[in-house]
Chains A and B, each alone.
Chain A
């Protein structure tokens, strides 16, 4: 199972009728069990790319091949919960086949057990983000799309959630795409890092990380960060 992406270009026309390119020559493949991390400046078109890969936007030049009947779990930049359904109903609606034991474990893991019957309007943004993560995990996805899932969470919680994402990705052969501004998240979670240019986004460079996620020590992480810093300086 793998994702093949070959987007030649994607353009938007704004309200004033001006056309501008958002993506250009995005070319990569992503295999099962692999975490691809996209790092790039704000507004470079990362979310647009994710929308295309999730099958929400078909108006582009090029080709995206996803396996048939791929189950997608997605965490959007905003939580996108149904305000009129409880936390549990929100998760169950997306994952009707999840059994009680799986859900309980998931809510436990994300520290949401006390909030199962709350409505999203009663949650803080951090909690709502965790519900969005729970929803994406509960569908037991083959293809996990994470659009800055750890933004606006405190460091300790972000670190725990990062570990949980890593555990999930390693427990099943999930293709994972992560978009983030945090170099730390990128280095700790990714198997391959894609560095994107400002708009129109194209891939400036690919940094593979061969050490398994669990074996990455502090020294190694700072090495990769240093390499990344060199890369960015040389190309942007």
Chain B
């Protein structure tokens, strides 16, 4: 209910601003909706959203899997941490644009280059977050698992993973938002389809309704994923806490 109200306020502010600025600069909601419906009926909207989502899913999965594994290793093994730390700082501070441009130059304007570039941008933050989580692991519970001779796999699943879960969830959430943003840049610079590409086209034609139609549909998809996947997952993970924050 509160969410609906907040959404209505957003629409109202938008409409008011559109009236003040003029339809040339900021089209009112119905114009954007019309553009979205037109794109949807031609199928282009769904195709481009689908393509972008697929890239997001691939890059995100790749970055999270690798990042969690490297982060766990760096949190557990001192040597791995000392070897990996300079690389991590380098990657953390490398601008996304540089990675994308270099990837396109070295690997060509290919799907692999785009996904790799997006994943590389996300990787270091996942590593850092999971490494912090690994450092915070409770040694007392490790001792318990050792004394009771709980096999490694089971101990990892029942003792280690639940402790890392909040960190993985945090990395996933911040990572998802990062990947959303970067995927559009990668598409704008070197892909022939996807939301980023369409926004680039709209920009060149100064077609603001089209630009907003794509941006907002994309935001709607993100919102849906957040409420239907990320939040229920977090709630399930923290159900053991007496009062979930």
Contact = CB atoms under 8 A, between A and B. Distances in A.
B241 A121 contact: yes
B229 interface: no
B158 A94 contact: no
Contact of B159 (A73, A74, A82, A145): A82
B87 interface: no
B25 interface: no
Contact of B150 (A54, A80, A93, A121): A93
A71 B149 contact: yes
B149 A122 contact: no
Contacts of A95: 148
Given A78-B140, A93-B154, A121 B242 contact: yes
Contacts of A135: 148
Nearest to B237: A84
Nearest to A119: B240
A51 B144 CA distance: 11
Interface in B131-163: 140-141, 143-144, 146-150, 154, 158-159, 162
In this complex, the member of A73, A83, A84, A95 whose beta carbon has the largest number of chain B beta carbons within 10 angstroms is: A84
Interface string B206-245: 0000000000000000000000000000000000111000
Interface string A141-174: 0000100000000000000000000000000000
A85 B161 CA distance: 12
Contacts of A85: 158, 162, 240
A67 to B, nearest CB: 14
A44 to B, nearest CB: 20
